[in-house]
Amino acid sequence: MLLQRFLIRLLTMAITLFGVAVVVFVVIRVAPGDPIAMMLPPGATDADIARLRALYGLDKTIVQQFFIWLAGVVRGDFGTSISLRQDVLGLVVNRLPATLELAIVALLMALAIGGTTAILGARERGTAVEAGIDIASGAALSIPDFLWGLVLILLFGVLVPVFDISGRVSPQLNLPFVTQFYLFESIVRLRFDLTKDLLAHMLMPAVALALPLAAIISQLLKQSLKEVLDLDYVVLARVKGFSETQVILREALKNAALPTLTLVGVQFTFLIGGTVIVERLFSYEGLGNMAIDAVINRDLPLIQGIVLVFALLFVLINLSVDMMYALLNPRLRHG
C-alpha cells in the first residue's frame, strides 16, 4: 500500500513538473523583448540576427521549441544561457548548493525557535509567558521574510554592525573548497574559521527566512501539545512524578509532532520560494539571485532551467514529507 501510494505520488509529480514546464515556456515566449537583439551590438545586420536566432533554436515554432527543449531536459541538457553563454545545468548546479545551505540553516533555525517556544508556551499555558509567545509569533507570522530582512539589515548591519550584510563569504578569504557546499565542506575539513565567516554571512538572511516559519511551527505545535497534555497517558506520567518539562519532552512531543511535520513540509517550500528575494536583499550568490538577473537579462534558457529546478525541489519535498508521514503514522503504516 505504501508502494502504491508512492507510485501514484510519483506520477502526479511528473504531471505537475510537466505543467510547470509548459506554463513557464509559454509565459516567457509571450515576452515582447528580443533576447537576441540584446546580445548583438547595434550595427548587427538582419542576417546576423537570423543566424543567432537559429543557433539558439528561436526560429522554430513554440511547440517545436518546447519539445526540442523537453527532449534535451530529459537527457540532462537544459540548453545554453544566453547572457552568460554557459551550460544552464552547470550554472544551476553551481549555484544550487548556496541556496540549499541557506534554506536548510533557516529550516533548522525555524525548528529550534518554533520548537522551543512551543514547548515553553505549553508548559506555561495560561500565563503571561504564553500570552507573550502568542503575540511574538503573531507578529513574526504577519511580517514576511522580505521585511524581516530589511529590519535585520537596519538592526545588525547599521545600528549595531555585527554581521556582514552582503555576500556569501568574505571576498579576501582563500577558499580551499572543491564543492559548492561551502558550509558543509568547511565543517568536514575542520576549517572552523571559514565556517564562522560563512555563518556570519548566512545568519541574517537565514533568520529573515526562518521567523515566519518558526511562528507557524510554534503556534501549531503548542496547540497540539496542549491537546495531548490532557490525555490520560500524559496525566498518568504526571502522576508518576515526572516534571512538566519531562512529561512534554518524553511523552507528549512525539504524538504532537506529526500534524506539525506535514505542515512544515509545505511551509519549507514557501521558505525556499522566499530565498529568491532574500538572496537579492543580502547579495547572497545563490540560485534566486541568479534567477532575478536572468529575468532582467531575458535569458530564456536560464529562466526555464531555474524555475524547473525550483519546481523539482518543491515536489520532491512534498513527496518526502508525504512518505515520512505515511511511515510515521501508525494508522497508515498498518492500514
Partner 1 sequence: MDEARISRHGSRARLWLAGGWLLIALLAAIFAPLVAPQDPLAQDLMLERLPPFWLSGAEPGYWLGTDSLGRDLLSRLIFGARIAFIVAFAAALAACLVGSTLGLIAGYFGGFADRIISRIVDVWMAFPPVLFAILLVAVLGTGLSSVIIAIAVIDWTRFCRVIRAETMGQSRMDYVENARIAGYGRIGIMLREVLPNVVPSIVALLSLEMGIAVIVEAILSFVNLSISTDDPTWGGIIAEGRLSIHQAWWVLVFPLVTLILTVLSFSQFGEGLRARFDPVLR
Tell me the site size for partner 1, rule CB under 8 A.
47
Contacts for 109 with CB less than 8 Å, ≥ 6 apart:
206, 207, 210, 214
Determine the distance from the C-alpha atom of residue 308 to the mean position of all C-alpha atoms in its chain, rounded to a whole number.
14
State the nearest-atom distance from the C-beta of 291 to partner 1, in Å. Answer: 5
Distance CA 36, CA 27 (A): 18
Confirm or reject binding of residue 292 to partner 1 (CB under 8 A). Answer: yes
Confirm or reject binding of residue 70 to partner 1 (CB under 8 A). Answer: no
Q: Which stretch binds partner 1 (CB under 8 A): 12-20, 45-53, 188-196, 324-332?
A: 12-20
- Pattern 31-60, binding to partner 1, x per CB under 8 A? xx----------------------------
Confirm or reject binding of residue 204 to partner 1 (CB under 8 A). Answer: no
Backbone angles phi, psi at 82, to 5 degrees: -75, -40
Distance CA 30, CA 4 (A): 40
State the nearest-atom distance from the C-beta of 14 to partner 1, in Å. Answer: 12
Confirm or reject binding of residue 146 to partner 1 (CB under 8 A). Answer: yes
Grid cell, residue 193, equals 574559521
What single string gives the DSSP state of each residue in 186-239?
HHHTT-HHHHHHHHHHHHHHHHHHHHHHHHHHHHHHHHHHHHHTTSHHHHHHHH
Q: Indicate which single residue of 1, 10, 11, 15 sits in contact with partner 1 (rule: CB under 8 A).
A: 15
Helices (H), 30-164: 35-39, 46-55, 62-74, 88-123, 128-142, 145-152
Q: Which stretch binds partner 1 (CB under 8 A): 101-109, 112-120, 144-152, 322-330?
A: 144-152
- Pattern 259-278, binding to partner 1, x per CB under 8 A? ----------x--xxx-xx-
Comparison of 147 and 173: residue with beta carbon closer to partner 1: 147
Nearest-5° Cα angle at 256, 250 to 260 = 130
113 contacts 218 by C-beta, under 8 angstroms: yes
Confirm or reject binding of residue 142 to partner 1 (CB under 8 A). Answer: yes
Grid cell, residue 304, equals 526555464
Which residues partner with 80 through β-bridges? Answer: 87
Confirm or reject binding of residue 311 to partner 1 (CB under 8 A). Answer: yes
Q: Indicate which single residue of 57, 132, 144, 259 sits in contact with partner 1 (rule: CB under 8 A).
A: 144
Interface residues toward partner 1, by CB under 8 A: 12, 15-17, 19-20, 23-24, 27-28, 30-32, 139, 142-144, 146-147, 150-151, 153-154, 157-159, 269, 272-274, 276-277, 280-281, 288, 291-292, 295-296, 298, 303, 306-307, 310-311, 314-315
